[in-house]
Every structure is written in structure tokens, then in C-alpha cells.
Amino acid sequence: KHDVPMLSIQDVFTKDDVLKWTNEVRLKHPDALFCVEQKIDGLSMSMRYTDGQISMAETRGDGEIGENVTLNALVIPDVVKNLCKKYPYLEVRGEVYMTHEDFDRTNERQELLGKKLFANPRNCAAGTLRQLDPEITKERGLSVFVFNVQTGPDELMVSHSDAMHILGECEKMKMVPGKLCSSNEEIIAEIDRISEIRGQLDYDIDGAVVKIDQITYRNDFPAGNKYSAGHIAYKYPPEEKETVLTNIELTVGRTGRINPTAVFNPVRLCGTTVCRATLHNQDYIDSLGIGIGDTVVVFKSGEIIPKIKEASNHIGNVFKMPDICPVCHSRVFREPDTADYKC
């Protein structure tokens, strides 16, 4: 059972909602400051320290009860085992994640062993942290950013930014990148800056967390039993990348249905490299208006399934299904009242 509940952070999807919340905070506390931090796309883990030594690490679980993953946490290089200051008790919360390099290396090893590949770094990190064998955890490689003090000595429970500085500089914990802001303009500028560098990072983020710096102010802004008080998370729109459509491959299903698949120059989206996306049928291709050689915009639906959004530059004509089956060279026809082309 968690000493301090590990709650979620309430999501907002517009910058107006961010400013509405910060303005509400200032109505009660005009001197409020805000920290804007990267929202790491991983899984939460809290770490307890007793008399300066790590005594337990646990996953979030349902927010009230988590899994004890201390043995696995001890093999993560970012986890500090012994503190310089021997605080009687300290609990910090962090986000366990996997870099793109470690994720690719792990999936390459899975493929060599004939095992199932992981869908994305977040799933891989979650499965790795719950391994019963710490050696597997160590081999795959995990990283941790610390982003909050759950409870601890008074010097760490006044200002969030001061606490992050103390733990980062004095205790060498790896703190989540963030910036202290005083005005709405600074907050929005930092949210935009994080969005601009998102594609350059070696790990995945899916938003920006805005939190009240003065820790005592946070409890004045509860968000229900499910969410942490004094925090909101601005979620970025799905990541999109441009690439060139190099081919449209046709396969024939067991019913004779011809299935078109887009093949494009590889791009990295949401932590994985993608080079293919289903095109469903001719009507779908016509709605996109795409052909081989076009520059297209690719995204991941639900951050999982690659899809083509649109063409940003047309080179040739819109692709049309062939009249002859690509496998047996028989006639191809469009099935009445459907979008399916069949052999």
C-alpha cells in the first residue's frame, strides 16, 4: 500500500484550458508560480528512502496499492541507492521509460530469439520493470526521471523547483526537464518549446505537465479522488511526420479481396520506426488523393496504428486498382455495393 496515493494527472487538450486553470489558481494565490515539465511517456514508480538508503520501489498499480519492484529498481542506473543527506524518510515519484536506442536493441534481441516484439517503448518498459528476474531488467536497459516529492523533510516540501534542484544537484537524481514560470506567456512559450523539441528527444513524451510550485498551495485545488491536486497535463496532438510514398503493395486475401498497403520511407513515430500503413480500399485511396511518389503525412492512430493523413505534395496521378490480379493474373472486379476489389 502506498504511503502517499499515486494518483493520475488530469489531462487538458487546449491551451485555453491551461490558462483557465492557471488563472483560477492566481485568483486564490496571486503569487503562485508554475513549473512546466516534459510529460514522460512511461510508467510511474515511487522510491522510498529510510535514513538515506533506498528501502522500497513500487509501481503505481491502482493508485492505492502497487507492485514491489525494488530488486528491479536497484539495477536501473538512474536510481540513486544512497543519499548524501540521511533523511529519516523520503519518498519520490518518477517515471520509468526506455530510450529509443534501448528499445530498438531489445526488439532486435527479441526477434533473434523468435519472441514477440514489443509495440512501443512504454509497453516494453512496463513489462521489463515487472520482470521476476532483475538480470533481464538490467540487460534490456531502463531509465528513470524523478518528477515529484511525495513526502519528505520540510526543506523539500516548500517549493517544488527548489526540491528538484536539491535532489538533482546534491543527490544526483535525474530530474525531469522543466522550467519555473511566473506568467501565462512564459507557460505557453515553454509548452510550445517542448513541442518543438519533441521529435529530437531520445525518449517519448506525450505532453507537458503544469504544476503549482508552492507545494502548500496545491491542496487548495483538488481535482477529485482520481487526480493529483495542483497539477494538470496538456496533451499534445498526435505526432505527425512527412515522408515519401515509394510503393503501394497489393496482396490477395483468402476470399480474393485485394488489399493495398502503403510503403514509404521509414519515419520514427511514438517511439517506433514505421514504413507501412494499410490503405483499406480504392475509396479510401481516392479520399486521400494519393499516388506513388507523393509526399504524405503519417501519424499513429491512438499512438499505435500507422496511418496516412493526407498528401502534402502530389507528384503523379491518384493510384488506381489494377484490372488484373497481381497473383494469378485473372480479371479483377469491384464487388457490387461495396468498396472491395476482388480477383
Q: Strand 34-40 relative to strand 178-181: parallel, antiparallel, unpaired? A: antiparallel
CA 114 to chain CA mean position, Å:
27
Annotation marks residue 39 as catalytic: yes
Q: What is the 3-state secondary structure (H, E, C) of 1-50?
A: CCCCCCCECCEECCHHHHHHHHHHHHHHCCCCCEEEEEEECCEEEEEEEE
Cα gap 117→37, rounded to integer Å: 31
Catalytic residue among 39, 211, 300, 307: 39
Q: What is the DSSP string of 167-202?
A: HHHTS---BPPEEEE-SHHHHHHHHHHHHHHGGGSS
C-alpha dihedral over 181, 186, 188, 191, to 10 degrees?
Answer: -60
Give the catalytic positions in this structure: 39
